[in-house]
Chain A
Amino acid sequence: MKNNKILNISNDLRWQIGDGFHDKLTEGIYSDAAQIAQNSVFKKGQTKRFRFDRSLDKIVTSKIWGFPIMILILSVVLWLTIIGANYPSGLLSELLLDTIQPWLKETSLSIGFPIWLAGFLFDGVYLALAWVIAVMLPPMAIFFPLFTLLEDFGYLPRAAFNLDNLFKKAGAHGKQALTMSMGFGCNAAGVVATRIIDSPRERLIAIITNNFSLCNGRWPTQILIASIFIGALAPQSLSGALSTLSVISIALLGVFFTFVVSYFLSKTVLKGEVSSFTLELPPYRPPIFWKTIYTSLIDRTLIVLWRACVFAAPAGAVIWLISNVTFGDTTIAHWLIENLNGFGFILGLNGVILVAYIVAIPANEIVIPTILMLTVMSVSISGVGEGNGVMFELDSVSATGEILKAGGWTLLTAVNLMVFSLLHNPCSTTIYTIYKETKSIKWTVIASVLPLIMGFVVCFVVAQVWRILL
C-alpha cells in the first residue's frame, strides 16, 4: 500500500536522522524567528529589563526580605477576607435566613402547601442553599479578587520562586505554594488553580494535598469552637489570643500535613509520573483593576458558588428528611446517631458530629448549624432551635457553648472536632472538581479517602493518649 510505503520511508529516515532531530528543529525555528524579528522589529536603544522591575525583584526575592514580605501579604489578604466578610455575611443571612425564609414558609402554608412539603422545601432545601450563599459568597468575593490582583501584578510567580526549594524537598513544585494559599479561600478553586503547574506529577500532588489548606468554609467552625472551648481555658484577657493561636496552629498543622503527604506521594504512588520544572517570571504589570475584579468574580467566585449550590440543595433535603422521616418510633437521624456514638467515642468525637459530617459533605459551611440542630434534637433541649431538621445558629457564643456542653462535649471533643474539620474528606464540590481536573477515578478516590483515614487516625490517637494522661 502507498500509505505504508510512506510510513516505512519516514521510519527509515527517522532511524538515519538520529536522536538530535528535535533539538535541530527547535534551533532552526528559533534562528528563523530571530532573523524575521531582526528584519522587522526596531528597538529603541538598549531596553533590557526595566530598572524598576529589576530592583523590585531584588527585594522580593532577597534572602532577608523575601519571606517576611510573603507572610505579610498572605496575612493581610486573609485578615481582609475574614474581617471584611463579616458585615456582608451578616446582611445576607439576615435577608435570606431571617426575612425571606419565614416569609416563604408562611406564604406557602397560607396558600395551602401541606406542612411536610413546606418543611422539605423551605426548611430543608432553601435553608441549606441560603446558608451556603450567605456564608460562602462574601469571603470568596473578597479573597479571589485580591488574589487575582496579586497574580496580575506579577507577584505570585516570585512567591513560587522563593518557596520552590522547600517544596522541592517534599517532591512538589514551588507553584504549589500558590495553589495552597488559594485553598485557604476555597479548595475547589485551589484545585482548579493547579492548572498553572505544568509538570504532571507535581500537579497531582498539589491536587491531592489541597484539602489540607483550611478553607473559608472551615475557618468559622474553627474560630467558633476555639472561642467556646479553648479560649475558656485562659483568663478573660488572654482568651482571645489563645483561641486565635489555636486556630492558627490548626492551619499550620494543615501546612505540615501538606508537606508530609506530598513527600509520601512523590515517593510512592506518584513515583512514575513525569516531573519537570520551569517557571517564567513575567515582567510586573499594573493590574487592570475592574477587568480583574470582573473576571475573578465570574471565573472563580460564581463558578464555585454555583457548584456549591448544586450540591447544597440536595444536602438540605437530606438533612430535613433524616430528621423527620421515622422508622418505628425513631427518626433516621436518631438511629444514625445512636449507631455512630460508639465509633465516635473511640475517635474522641460523638455520633452527632459524624452524622453532621456525613450529611454536610456538600459544604463545610453547614456543619455547625447541622451539629446544633442534631444536638438539640437528640438531647431534647426545649426552647432553642427551630424544630426537627431546621438548621440554626445562635448569635451568642456562650449560648452555643451551653447547647454543645449539654450534648456531652468536653475539651477533647472540641480539640478533635478542630482536627477532624482539618482532616476529613473534601467537600463534594471539591471532589467533583478533582474528578474534572484529573479525569481519573483513582486519583479522585485517593484524594477523598486519604485525608479521611488520616483524620480518623489522628483523632483516635489524640483521644486515647488524652484519656490515658488525663
Chain B
Amino acid sequence: MESPLTYLLYFLLIITGLIVVFYPNGGIYWRLKNSFKNDSKTLIEDILKKLYHAEDGGNSLSTNDIISSTNIRPKIIIEIIAQMKANELINFNNGNIKLTENGMDYALKIIRVHRLWEKYLSEKTGFDKKDWHDIAEKMEHKLDSQQTKELANDLGNPRFDPHGDPIPTEFGEIESIQGEPLPVFKEGTIGRIVHIEDEPDIIYKQILAEDLHIGSHVHIVENNEKRIVFHSEGEEYILAPIVANNITILQLLKEEISEENTFRLSNLKENEQAKIIGISNECRGEIRRRLLDLGFVLNTKIELDLISPMNNPRSYLVRDTAIAIRNEQAKYILIEKIKNDANSN
C-alpha cells in the first residue's frame, strides 16, 4: 500500500491532466480537433465569405488583405487562392480579387446555411445569443444542398436571420437590408431597429450587454461625435458612435409611430395597470409560443400580482389568472401603461 499522500498526488495529477486536455475551448483536445478542420474546403469557403462581405460593402480585397485578416500561414492561403482561381471562383483585377458568378453563387450558399443555422439555433435550441455565430461558423461547412433545403423547409423558409440579416434564397436571390446605421440619423428621429451586426465580437458583446432588441422603436435625443443617446421601450441608452454604427435602424413614417408610452413589462410597478402591446422579436421559439398560449397577446389587460421573496420571478394577473414569469422574460413583453386617474394622487 502506498501512503495517502502519494494517492492524493496521483489524483491531483490526473485531474490537472484532464483539465489541460478538455478545458472548454482552450484544452489540447479541442485545439487538436480544430487544427484538423482547417482543410481546404473550409478555407475556400471562409475566403469566399470574406470577399462577398467586402464587395457587399463596396470594398475590394487583395491577397495581402486576406493573409493579414487570418492567422493561417501565408503559404497555405496563397495556394488556396491559386486553387480558387483554377476553379473559376475568383478573378484578379488590378491585384484585387473579385468573385466570379460561380464564386458569388457559392458564397451565397454558404451565407444561406450560416444564417439559416443561426435561425435554427434561435428558434429550436437553448443556446445563448453570443454562441450562435461561432456554432453557425462551424455548421456552414457541413450541410449539403439537400440538407439545407430540408432545414429551410423545417423553419418555414424564413426571410431574416435573428440578427436581422436577409437569408439568400435557394436560387441565390438576396434582399437588401433597408435602413442606415444609427449615427447617420439626426436628433429627434424615431426609427425601428432592423439589424444588429454580430461581428466583431467585442462590439457585439457590448450591444448584448445593453440589452437592445431587434424590432424595438428608438427615439434619438442626442447625437454627436462623443456619444449617441436614445430612448427605447422606456429605458435610456448611451452608446459610443463606433458601437452604435453596428445597429441599423429604419426611420419610421408618421403613421407608424406608436406613442412614447411603451414600456417593458419588467418595468411595471405595483398598483399600475397596463395593456399588452406585443412581444419583442427577440423572444423566440418555444418561450414565445408559450407566452402567446398563456394569453400574452395584443390589448390584454395586465397588472402585477405577487413579487417573490427574492424579487424575481414576479407573477402577473392576465385574464384573471396569476402567471409567474422571470424578469428576464418580462422585459420582452411590451406594454402601454393605462393612466388610472382614481389612483393617481
A residues with a Cβ closer than 8 A to B are 11, 14-15, 18-19, 22-23, 26-27, 30-31, 48-49, 57-58, 61-63, 66-67, 161-162, 164-166, 168, 174, 198-201, 268, 271-282, 345-346, 460-461, 463-465, 467-468
Contacts and interface: CB of A to CB of B under 8 A. Distances in A.
Contacts of B308: 61, 66, 161-162, 164-165
A22 B291 contact: no
A271 B126 contact: yes
Closest 10 CB pairs of A and B: A276-B287, A165-B310, A281-B322, A467-B4, A464-B4, A279-B324, A26-B292, A275-B126, A66-B309, A27-B297
Contact of B290 (A63, A278, A463): A278
Contact of B293 (A26, A268, A273): A26
Nearest to A169: B310
> Which of the listed residues B124, B293, B313, B323 has the most CB atoms from chain A within 10 Å of its own CB?
B313
Interface of B: 1, 4-5, 7-8, 11, 24, 124-128, 131, 153, 156-160, 278-279, 281, 285-295, 297-300, 305-313, 315, 317, 320-326, 329
B317 A273 contact: no
Nearest to A64: B309
Given A30-B295, A164-B313, A164-B326, 17 more contacts: A14-B157, A18-B159, A23-B279, A27-B297, A30-B297, A57-B306, A63-B309, A67-B309, A161-B306, A164-B312, A201-B126, A273-B125, A280-B321, A280-B323, A281-B306, A281-B322, A281-B324
A161 B312 CA distance: 9
Contact of B289 (A22, A271, A465): A22
Contacts of A164: 308, 312-313, 324, 326
Contacts of A161: 306, 308, 313, 315, 324
Contacts of A62: 309
B317 A49 contact: yes
14 contacts: A19-B281, A22-B289, A23-B278, A61-B306, A162-B308, A165-B310, A165-B311, A168-B312, A272-B126, A275-B287, A278-B287, A278-B325, A281-B306, A282-B322
Given A49-B317, A165-B310, A165-B311, A461 B8 contact: yes
Contacts of B311: 165
Contacts of A461: 8, 11
A6 B300 CA distance: 36
Contacts of B126: 200-201, 271-275
Contacts of B297: 23, 26-27, 30
A200 B125 CA distance: 10
Given A27-B297, A468-B5, A272 B313 contact: no
A30 B325 CA distance: 20
Contacts of B278: 23
A248 B206 CA distance: 45
B127 A272 contact: yes
A468 B287 contact: no
Nearest to B285: A274
Contact of B160 (A19, A23, A162, A165): A19
A277 B309 contact: no
Nearest to A58: B306
Nearest to A273: B126
A277 B329 contact: yes
Contacts of B320: 48-49
B309 A61 contact: yes
B345 to A, nearest CB: 22
B310 to A, nearest CB: 4
A278 B309 contact: no
A96 B78 CA distance: 83
B25 to A, nearest CB: 12
Nearest to A12: B157
B177 to A, nearest CB: 16
A4 B278 CA distance: 35
B313 A165 contact: yes
A463 B2 CA distance: 13
Contacts of B156: 14
Contact of A280 (B286, B312, B322): B322
A279 B313 contact: yes
